[in-house]
Each structure stands twice: as structure tokens, then as C-alpha cells.
Amino acid sequence: MALSRREFIKKCVTGTAAATLGGAGLVTNLFAGGAPDRGGVQIGGATRRYIDLERSGELERRERALWDLYNPCYLCPRLCGAKRSSGEVGACSAASSFRVASAGPDFGNEAPIRGVRGSGGIFLSNCNLLCVFCQNWQIAHRGDGRQTSHAELAGIMLDLQRRGLHNVSFITPTHLVPHLVSALRIAIAGGLNVPLCYNTGSYDSLEVMRLLDGVVDIYQPDFKFQDSAVATRFLNGAPDYALHAAAAIKEMHRQVGGMLRTTGGIAYRGMVVRHLVMPENLGGTDVFARWVASELGTDTHVNIMGQYRPMFRAHEYPPLDRRITSAEFNQAIRWAQEAGLVNLIN
């Protein structure tokens, strides 16, 4: 049976939450390895601001504001207005509950984020972006995953921390932000203190991003397309993608800066802007690189990604039906260098 937040916090204090969540099958042993550190917000030289927000009551206020955007749903720029609490679904196919597809060590991130033990990746089901070339279409489009309560998600977060992973990373979080903040508050009560990462396709609303100021430690936005017609075609009709992505990424930059800050080589705050190189430069890498240089700064951490694979319905949209060539990737790197970007990482 799912626990209420009050019940869960009480069980955290008495140390019985692990057994409860372990019984749900997603968490092995919540508090194995010692009691959680509740001693302060200064952690390994970094300040975990979400703990401050919780202590001051501000995180509860943000949580309420996010839920106010949920029903009808105006969480993302698609502005569906779906009454999700009543079971209506919008473009993202997510209704009142949410599903988690998987959770565990993720080594697919940039070096300061994956570190040596991996990032604590939580793959969330469904997506508001819906790329025709989706690399995880079973999760994003079909919605594969297991229905999960807030208390269970908090338990997953605490388990990833207990296992020594460097952070907790929400992957494809945009359509579920109120759920994530509700779960985060429970996890904080249970002792969560690792950096929180927000790994997004960047079709995020500015209003939601402002409400995440101080909640998220590390942003990993993927800025996919620059051209409205291209975005309309490949992102399930999102002609305003570049406009909203640019605004959201600038807000992320305002909050945490454009560089990953590290301690012992491991990131604890900051941002890395990602960009997937597409066949025939459909992603507009040259435009992207110049935008980063002029709007965020040439020292911004940028990951120019060369791993595009034709997946899902990509075969219906040539030239998306092929991988990129080495010449295309090298040209993308040259554009980044010509724009003056000096912190390319992967």
C-alpha cells in the first residue's frame, strides 16, 4: 500500500521505511550503510540548496505552484490543458499517475557527471517531445514502465545515493515535475543530499524552470533543433521548440551558470548543453554553436554528440534514416570551434 508523505517521514525517523519500500520491489535496502546525513546543507564543499528550500518552507510553496499547473496541465509549451487528475491525457500521454522505466547507474553522461561510479539515472516513462527518431521509444512513446508512488520514487532516490552513485538524475522529467518535487521532499526527509540533475529535451516552460531555481543542481538540456519547420516535422508538431528551448536554457544558465563546477572531479552544480549532430545538419549545429557563444558565453560546457542512430520512425524521414558520417561530425566540431566554444566535453 502506498504511504502518505506524513507516514513516510514518520517511518524514516523510526527507521522502518526501508522495509516498507523494499517490499515494493524497487528498493533493496533504503538505509543500509548507515543513517542518512541530516547534519547540514554543506556537503563535500558544495551547498545543497534544495535542503535549504525545504527547511524554509519554500520547497512546499514551489510544490503547490507546480501542482497548480497540472490540472488542467500547462506544464510544458504544448499547453494541452488536459485535466490529468481526472485521467485526461495530453500530447505526452501521461495522466494522473506516473511510471518509472528503470533506475540505476548510468554511464552515458559527461565525465564529471558519470564520475567513476555512475550517475543515478531514473528513466521516466512518457515524454512531451516525442521525436520521430526517439532512441528510447518504448519508454518515451509507448510509456513502458512501472507505476510508482511518490514514496516509492523517494525510496529509489535514496537507494541510488546509498549505492554511492554521484547524483540522482531525472531523465525526461518535463511532464512530471510536480510528482518529482513531491517525491524529492520525501527523499529530503529521508536524508537525500546528492546533487539533483535535470536531463531534458528542453521543451520546457519558463514558468516551470523558474520554480526549479535552487531545486536542481545540474542541468543537462539537449538543444536539438534551431529551425521551426524541422522541429514541426520531427517533434510531433512543435514549431516553437527552439524559442522555448532557448528561453528555458537561458533560465537554467541564470540559475547555475554555464559550466559544471566540480569537487574531486565530480560535478556538484552547473550545466552542460548538449546537441545531437543530425544527418545533413538538420539540427542546425552551426546556428546552435553561435547561439551558445553569444547568449551563454564561449566558456559554456557543451557536448556535441555524434551517436545519432536511426530509430523508431526515422526510416520514414530521410535523411534521418542513416547515421551521420565522420565528415559531418568533424564539421560540427569545427563549427563549435569557429564559434569560439572552448569547453567541449563528452
In the complex, what is the shortest distance from the CB of residue 127 to ligand SF4, in angstroms, rounded to a whole number? 9
In the complex, what is the shortest distance from the CB of residue 140 to ligand SF4, in angstroms, rounded to a whole number? 12
**Which is it for the CA torsion 126, 127, 128, 131, positive or negative?**
negative
Among 9, 12, 80, 208, binds ligand SF4 (CB under 6 A): 80
Listed in sequence order, the residues at least 6 apart from 47 whose beta carbon sits closer than 8 Å to its beta carbon are 41
For the beta carbon of residue 230, count every other beta carbon within 10 angstroms. Answer: 18
Question: Which residues are bridge partners to 330 per DSSP?
Answer: none
Q: For ligand SF4, give the closer residue by CB, 2 or 79.
A: 79
Binding-site size for ligand SF4 (CB under 6 A) equals 14
Q: For ligand SF4, give the closer residue by CB, 23 or 81.
A: 81
Contact between residue 107 and residue 60 where contact means Cβ atoms under 8 Å apart: no
Select from 8-16, 88-96, 184-192, 244-252 the region that touches ligand SF4 (CB under 6 A): 88-96
Could you tell me how far CA 301 lies from the centroid of its own chain? 17
Q: For ligand SF4, give the closer residue by CB, 70 or 329.
A: 70
Q: Is residue 141 a contact point for ligand SF4 (CB under 6 A)?
A: no
Contact between residue 325 and residue 281 where contact means Cβ atoms under 8 Å apart: no
In the complex, what is the shortest distance from the CB of residue 45 to ligand SF4, in angstroms, rounded to a whole number? 36
Among 90, 112, 118, 173, binds ligand SF4 (CB under 6 A): 90
For the beta carbon of residue 254, count every other beta carbon within 10 angstroms. Answer: 12
What one-letter code names the amino acid at 79?
L
Q: Cis check for the bond before 72: say yes or no (omega within 30 of 0).
A: yes
Select from 86-94, 267-275, 303-311, 319-327 the region that touches ligand SF4 (CB under 6 A): 86-94
In the complex, what is the shortest distance from the CB of residue 251 to ligand SF4, in angstroms, rounded to a whole number? 17
C-alpha cell at 279: 544527418
Select from 57-65, 76-84, 302-310, 338-346 the region that touches ligand SF4 (CB under 6 A): 76-84
In the complex, what is the shortest distance from the CB of residue 47 to ligand SF4, in angstroms, rounded to a whole number? 31
C-alpha cell at 61: 510553496
Q: Which residue number has the CB closest to ligand SF4?
A: 90
Angle CA(310)–CA(320)–CA(239) in degrees, nearest 5?
115
What span, in angstroms and rounded, lies between the C-alpha atoms of 74 and 301? 30
Site for ligand SF4 in 36-75 (CB under 6 A): 73-75
In the complex, what is the shortest distance from the CB of residue 206 to ligand SF4, in angstroms, rounded to a whole number? 14
Q: Is residue 181 a contact point for ligand SF4 (CB under 6 A)?
A: no
What residue ranges in 85-211 does DSSP mark as E strands?
98-106, 119-124, 146-148, 168-171, 196-200
Q: Is residue 139 a contact point for ligand SF4 (CB under 6 A)?
A: no
In the complex, what is the shortest distance from the CB of residue 281 to ligand SF4, in angstroms, rounded to a whole number? 28
Phi and psi torsions of 105, nearest 5°: -60, 130
Which residues of this chain interact with ligand SF4, rule CB under 6 A? Answer: 73-76, 78-80, 82, 90-92, 94, 128, 175
